Amino acid sequence: MNTVPTVAKADLKKFFNPASVALVGATDDLSRFAGKVLMRMSDFGYKGKIYPVNPRFKGQQIRGHECYGSVRDLPEAPDHVGVVVPAQHVMGILEDCAARGAKFVTVYTGGFAESGTAEGKALQAEVVALARRSGMRIMGPNCNGMISFVDAFAMTTSATIAGPRQPAGNVGVVSQSGGAGQVNVMWRAQDAGVGISYQVSCGNSADLNIIDFIEFMLDDAATDVIMALVEHIPDGRRFMQTARRAAALGKPIVMVKLGRTEAGGHAAASHTGAMAGSDDVTDAALKQCGVIRVDDCNELYEMAMLLRAKRIPQGPRTAATTISGGNGVLLVDHGAAHGLSWPEFSPKTRETLASFLPKMATTANPVDVSNALIGKADLFRRCVETIAADENVDMVIPTYTMTPRADLEAAVEAWQATTKPMAMLWIGKCNDQAGFTQLTVAATGMPVFRNTLACVKAVKAAVNYGQFSAANAKRAEPVRPAGIDVEAARALVSNADGTMTERASKQVLAAYGFPVTRETLAKEAADAVRIATEIGGEVALKIESADIPHKTEAGAIRLHVKGNAVVREAFDAVMGAARHYKPDAVLDGVLVQEMAPAGLEIMLGLVTDPVFGPVVVAGLGGIHVEVLRDLAYRVAPIDQTEARAMLDELRGRKLLDGVRGAAPRDIEALCDLIVRLSWLGHDLSDCIAELDVNPVILREQGAGAKVVDALVVGRKS
């Protein structure tokens, strides 16, 4: 959980479109960082007032602007100040900026927290404190600034904006990294015909972070899609809220999140904790709030290419036309493998197609016009329009290889004539006009892809996004179920220090409405006999000791015990094994417990993610967890629908329906427990670090579940 205090939402209009800008450390020398920044700013066409600041050049002209000795001396309060001075001078400059009433500062200088040194971290803390104290908002340090194509303002060294300024588009770029955000994402997007509104690389994100910039782009009319290249999410909960708002506004966020392979590095006392890889949690959290996660930077703009048209497919039913049979097979094959379907056209559609298509063509889906239509643009346009009008079709992909211009334009015309989602898949080039390229098509706003798999993946992600948005629109905040006694549970946990016993852990769960085994602690053998008689039938005997969390490993457990003599004998055996296993352990006694009913073993758990906070985990028990790591995650709290979706993600899902003649399991009861556990995490994450419920025995439909063992790991005070 992020502990940065909440600050007022920044209005970043003047950040991107300042009336006046100061650059501290300014110089004419183009081999210097600040020299490059000033050159780019001028070349990019910034029309506002520029104040170079540098005591060395005080009173001189730099690029035609009078240079000042200090920000304090400026004739007006600048909207945005760029700072390019050595790290040890940054705080002094920031004080000057705050004193002069600057609204925004971007600090380019490195040598702060990213250095890993204590000095660097302390220096960065000072920057944050100043921002909080003064209300002046700061980007960086250790960043490469920003670019607004909307406002023709850039303050960065990036060579990506050399040459004529690219026209603004409706896709924004946020990243912490400079080079990768500006080259891999922004410049490459433009190179593929995707226009950019704003770009920021916010570096160490001491004050302003990617969420602030995403929020600006959500509120700003110039941006419809946001591409994010993210090394770390600064505040998981706030990010998820922002992402849900993005979905509600119909402004998709597409993200490359680095750190897939850092997973599972943290030490953990509980089973669940050891199983949770942080990237699995990130993956689940991003899905949960509708962020479209892609693998590499090119997929960001391929996805944006599709989404910026603001036509989201209502479902996976795809239709295509092709002039190459092989390409039809490729498209259908990849589409089906990725979850797109290829519906039959309606009788009306087939009739219409047959009325104008030549005999060689088919009226199947994809329509293979088999070279017969090449050069007959009007027929081509009618063909695309006809299948786009079919009510069985959610998405249309006109596919081309080597093609005359008129045929390509026919698809663009069909795109313009309808509101159905479409993407052109154009593998080759234009036959009869060299200058007519994929960029020509992209300039019309029609999405255009060069590779089949990339096209199919983007379309499927858009389908998923559409489904998320529809569900998100109807979604209510999760409600705490009845029968939860938060304070009772809190009292139990806050008394604990570190690992709790099985019995105490189950009492916490019982306070949240979990059905647990009947059990009582026996201090002596005679107690055990009496308790076993009260419970009736077979019982289990287990050591109770906070010093022995792994009872099976200690051999301090006996199952299926029945009869007074046997119970007495088992009591002594359990105590003896525990003493042998860990001679200095404090033994509370022996837990006498009803034997669990027969059923399917389930594992539930809670972990605390450093970014997203309490996370609920569910999986099938036993080898499914230990060997196959077949687990699903959700940021807590969640509702029944999300709980069911978690189960649906499990590879072993079918076991819940009953296989090999077993009865279907009580899925509803299981979902109820997952929801309750998510609330437990939500309510008590300040005092619970991790929690295992392993196993829960899940009985047949209607017969509920029972918790057999549990382990709460409290936060050490």
Is residue 448 close enough to count as binding its own copies by CB under 8 A?
Answer: no
Dmax (CA) of the chain = 101
Is residue 536 close enough to count as binding its own copies by CB under 8 A?
Answer: no
Residues 35-74 that bind its own copies (CB under 8 A): none
Helix (H, G, I), strand (E, B) or coil at 677: helix
Half-sphere exposure of 661 (CA within 13 A, CB side): 0
- The least CB distance from residue 326 to its own copies, in Å, is 3
Residues 297-316 that bind its own copies (CB under 8 A): 297-298
- The least CB distance from residue 184 to its own copies, in Å, is 5
Is residue 190 close enough to count as binding its own copies by CB under 8 A?
Answer: no
**Which residue in the set 3, 654, 716, 717 belongs to the binding site for its own copies (CB under 8 A)?**
654
Half-sphere exposure of 450 (CA within 13 A, CB side): 13
Q: Is 140 left (phi over 0), alpha (psi -120 to 50) or beta?
A: left
Taking Cα atoms as reference points, which of 699, 311, 255 lies closest to residue 469?
A: 311
Q: What are phi and psi of 67, to 5 degrees?
A: -95, 135
Is residue 169 close enough to count as binding its own copies by CB under 8 A?
Answer: no
Nearer Cβ to its own copies, position 180 or 521?
180
Helix (H, G, I), strand (E, B) or coil at 589: strand
The interface region with its own copies, picked from 46-54, 84-92, 428-436, 533-541 by CB under 8 A, is 428-436
Q: What are phi and psi of 384, to 5 degrees?
A: -65, -45
The interface region with its own copies, picked from 54-62, 179-187, 246-254, 566-574 by CB under 8 A, is 179-187
Is residue 337 close enough to count as binding its own copies by CB under 8 A?
Answer: yes
**Which residue in the set 69, 428, 536, 610 belongs to the binding site for its own copies (CB under 8 A)?**
428
What strand order describes the sheet that includes 424-426? 367-368, 318-322, 395-400, 424-426, 448-449
Is residue 158 close enough to count as binding its own copies by CB under 8 A?
Answer: yes
The strand ranges marked E within 460-518 are none
Task: Give the Cα separation of 201 and 210 in Å (integer).
Answer: 8
- The least CB distance from residue 379 to its own copies, in Å, is 16
Asked if 235 contacts 2 with a C-beta cutoff of 8 angstroms, the reply is yes
**Which residue in the set 128, 152, 168, 336 belongs to the binding site for its own copies (CB under 8 A)?**
336
**Which residue in the set 454, 486, 510, 595 belongs to the binding site for its own copies (CB under 8 A)?**
454
Residue 683 CA: distances (Å) to CA of 288, 349, 484, 500, 613: 20, 56, 11, 18, 11
The interface region with its own copies, picked from 52-60, 234-242, 450-458, 512-520 by CB under 8 A, is 450-458
SS3 content of the chain, % helix, strand, coil (to 5): 40, 20, 40
Q: What are phi and psi of 496, to 5 degrees?
A: -85, 155
Nearer Cβ to its own copies, position 48 or 652?
652
Could you tell me how many residues of this chain bind its own copies (CB under 8 A)? 61
**Which residue in the set 122, 125, 249, 329 belongs to the binding site for its own copies (CB under 8 A)?**
329
Is residue 13 close enough to count as binding its own copies by CB under 8 A?
Answer: no
Taking Cα atoms as reference points, which of 534, 537, 528 lies closest to residue 574?
A: 528
Is residue 125 close enough to count as binding its own copies by CB under 8 A?
Answer: no
Is residue 178 close enough to count as binding its own copies by CB under 8 A?
Answer: yes
Is residue 433 close enough to count as binding its own copies by CB under 8 A?
Answer: no
Q: Which residues bind its own copies (CB under 8 A)?
A: 158-160, 162, 175-181, 183-184, 187-188, 229, 231, 256, 258-261, 295-298, 323-327, 329-330, 333-334, 336-337, 401-402, 427-429, 431, 450-454, 552, 622-623, 626-628, 651-652, 654-655, 659-661
